């Protein structure tokens, strides 16, 4: 069965869940620049999946999936910083890193399936 809506993509659903986790984990952070940057990047992952899907061509969708991967990498880079700055405990950072890595694998797999 072909996917007819971006909402049906598991990677989109996981990306939304990931953004919610990022928002919750950084909701009380007083470093507003950091919080704004990491939350915006986390939202960008699912938004680029959605936007690319609705372009309705494989080349456009793939281009947006790569943008989603880049946003995911930005979040992961900031998670490393958050641990070094002691914004999050190490174990929580590792959990979020695992989620981020899972999303990357799913995005790369989706790209491979379209090529």
Write the pLDDT tens digit of every residue in 63-82. 999 999 999 999 999 999 99
CB atoms within 10 A of CB 86: 8
List the CATH number of the domain containing 105.
Answer: 1.20.1440.60
Q: Average pLDDT, stretch 85-113?
A: 97
Q: Is residue 23 part of a domain?
A: yes
Q: What is the distance between the alpha carbons of residues 12 and 92, in angstroms, rounded to a whole number?
A: 22
Number of domains the chain is built from: 1
Kindly state the DSSP code that residue 5 receives in the 8-state scheme. Answer: S
The residue among 34, 37, 25, 28 whose CA lies nearest residue 99 is: 25
In angstroms and rounded to an integer, the radius of gyration of the C-alpha atoms of the chain is 14
Tell me the per-residue pLDDT of 10-67, one tens digit each, with 9 for 90 and over: 999 999 999 999 999 999 999 999 999 999 999 999 999 999 999 989 999 999 999 9
Q: Is residue 2 part of a domain?
A: no
Q: Is residue 70 part of a domain?
A: yes
Residue 23 structural domain:
7-114
Q: Is residue 1 part of a domain?
A: no
The residue among 32, 27, 9, 21 whose CA lies nearest residue 72 is: 21
């Amino acid at each position: 069965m072909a996917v007819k809506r971006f909402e049906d993509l598991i990677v989109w659903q996981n990306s939304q869940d990931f953004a919610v986790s990022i928002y919750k984990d950084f909701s009380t952070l007083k470093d507003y620049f950091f919080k704004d940057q990491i939350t915006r990047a986390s939202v960008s992952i699912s938004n680029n999946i959605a936007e690319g899907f609705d372009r309705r061509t494989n080349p456009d969708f793939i281009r947006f999936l790569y943008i989603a991967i880049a946003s995911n990498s930005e979040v992961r880079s900031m998670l490393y910083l958050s641990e070094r700055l002691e914004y999050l405990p190490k174990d929580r950072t590792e959990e979020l890193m695992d989620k981020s890595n899972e999303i990357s694998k799913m995005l790369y797999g989706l790209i491979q399936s379209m090529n």
